[in-house]
Structure 1
Amino acid sequence: MPSIRRRKFLKSVSAALGAAPLLGACGGGGGGGEPVSNARECTVTGVPSSKPPQLPSGPALPAISNTALPRLRGAHLNEYADWTDPHYSGWIQLPQLPAWGANVLRVFLCPFDQTGAPYLPGSPLKDRLAASLASRQPVIEWCLSNNVHVMLCFSSFLIWPVSRNWPEDDGRSLWRDASAQSELIAAWAALAERFKGRPGLIFEILNEPQPHYPGSPNGDERLSAGALNKLYPPVIEAIRAVDPERWVAIGPEWNFADYLDELAPIADPRLLYAVHFYTPSSVTHQGIADPSTAGTVHYPTSGGQFETALNKATLEAALKPALDYQAAHGVRIAVTEFGCSKTAPAETRLAWTTDVYSLFEAWGWDSVIFRYEAGMWPACFRQSWALENSEIEGLCRSIFARNLPTA
């Protein structure tokens, strides 16, 4: 799907979530049960435990290295869980990930909490992200102690349960106000200082960079030419001034592969170039903006309701700009989000995910699937992105297992 149409679709999803919070949030419907109204209600009652979880017996992930970053295969961790609560049921389920071989979890840092309330409104971004970090610190420490890398990603926006954007919440724009850019630089410098010398953490500077600014229309506006090429270098320079060894991920506008050619490569050997992949959205997001379309779009298909076939060649063509960019500049590509919602037919979701993984594996790309729900399935995530207890669990486990040492 062309980028303009995809932007329109994603914006329509964001608008629709006010009434039907299915994208990265709790969704009612499907399998009975009433919709829930907030993240806390999503917590599945599990076996309470105040003890740190132990890994099941079996081959362990290789120890995290101080010098090398292995091939990353893992998942995005849901951001609505309360990891400060030792009785949260996700603590019971989390150990299965490294046991399966997943060696990375992607974790959002956001200026807003799970309810949409701002952390420390009016404070500098570094302080707001420190507050966000505190709510995620227990799971971060657990991951690192169990040889699971953590990709800390700054998400400037929240979609559900309300729509929030930084720095729009205090009347500024990241793309127009030097003060906001200075805060972003200072925030990453502070995180670099905090984790200096700690292996296993990867910094992803921005999640889906997009042109939020006060009063921006809901159209298809683009970032100004070169905006990211001006923003990324000083952020990386600030991180490198503190920690020259840290791996850092940067991405194009919206993390779209077909915008990668607008991103000037940076001469730094420890960079990942991050793209997201949900193409075609008519397959991966069916039933989200319009619940009536759930389960109606199939993959692969030879045409039918579409002008052209949807198959592995379709996916490869959509990803070719990133493959070409990799070949032209010798960079490392990481797909830091990809997935097909459970609103798709089960056989479609499995076929799509199988084909996508086969491309990533063939090309040597790092991959982070969206997502691992960790205790928030199935009570209210019957229509969501959960990989566990789903039609794609076996596939994901077979991919993750490639990280485990062979006998």
Structure 2
Amino acid sequence: MQKFDVLIVGAGMVGLTLALALRKKSQLKIAIVDTNIVTALDDSIDARVSAINVASKNIFDNLGVWSTLKNSRVQNYQHMHVWDKSGLGKLDFSAQDSAIFPHEDNLGWIIENKVIRHALWQQAELDEGIHFFTDNKLASISHGDSEVFATFAHNSSSQESAGQVTPPIIAKLVVGADGANSWVRQQMDIAMIFKDYDHHAIVATVACPQGHKNTAWQVFLPTGPLAFLPLYSKDLHNKNASKDDNNNDLCSIVYSTSPDDAKRLINLETSEFAKALTAASDGKLGDISLKSERFTYPLTMRLAQDFVKDRVVIIGDAAHTIHPLAGQGVNLGLLDAAALAQTLTAKLHDDKADFVNQSDLKAFSRWRKSEATEMIAAMAGIKQAFAVQPAPIQLLRGVGMNMINHFSPIKNRLIAQALGIKADLPELAYQKDSL
């Protein structure tokens, strides 16, 4: 039997961030269970990337991880260019144009998921209060009035005979940070609201000979949005490129389209797929070429009816998933982690007794569910606004976009959303010198 204060199921970006945030603010003893261990980084580029906003960057900085990340494969971007394929509307954002946040040089950073996870994992391994369990998955969790009991599954009888059986874990709180198909959520029978977006996302790495110009590009097509996210490629593709080099030419694409269209695009020959991307992007990035495999997955909105049940909390994709058109899914999960750490440690006494307060956890659930609901509604609104519309509506949409593009107050609010700077952020999401 092994005793811990908090058991985190899932050592992805969100689960690892929670572990580090808890340890920064307390002496709580943390267990993390995940059989998907981190390996050394190689030169292959992960097609799965995240758009990290300023709030998330602040979280990483306050946890001592950003210094590692910024010296790794991180691409900053200062501009966003959005346009409507079916009309004349366009939006151009620049961090330097914001009167509200003139000190921000970047709108965000594009980082491969495996690079973020590697940096977080390395930082967690340095903390003697964080213990990893990577040999076996959990088999069950049961809870009492003051503790949760978790048992491990064992892959073979040979493990038992060799004395490799992992003893059960007793913890005061279990956190499910184990993704959209959360095992923890299923074990606790937490109800979910689902909505099929009727979109599949295609992700891949491409080269754009015009250079990405430190810009995130997004075009709204009749079938859905296509985003080109700038990637850092020094020593990987373009030997002479740097993070601030406008001629850096690698991008990660996220192409959200109907299931039938996604199937068609995935089955195209490589050269034909590249031509389709060039045409869809109006040639703004040059004649695009494909540099990786193509991956596709269905897009579904999920929202847990409650993020807390007894002594179990779910965060990140285990609690909510949203459309990737604004790239806010990971940022929302990182804020969950920072907010939960703040909630658990705010009233913590030296003896660590009773740090699991149901009233505080319910307040956390309302806090984070409210923001997730707001983000889900915003994504639904944007998706609907750019759906196929009659010509007069398309014309009005274009006029509206162009008006916003020249109206600073609204534009500044949109920039603030992109930066992730808003009211009621967890403490870790603010700049270091403001804590």
TM bracket (short chain): under 0.3
Q: State the TM-score, normalizing by the size of structure 1.
A: 0.26
Q: State the TM-score, normalizing by the size of structure 2.
A: 0.25
Considering fraction of residues, name the structure with more strand.
2
User: Which structure has the larger Rg?
Assistant: 2
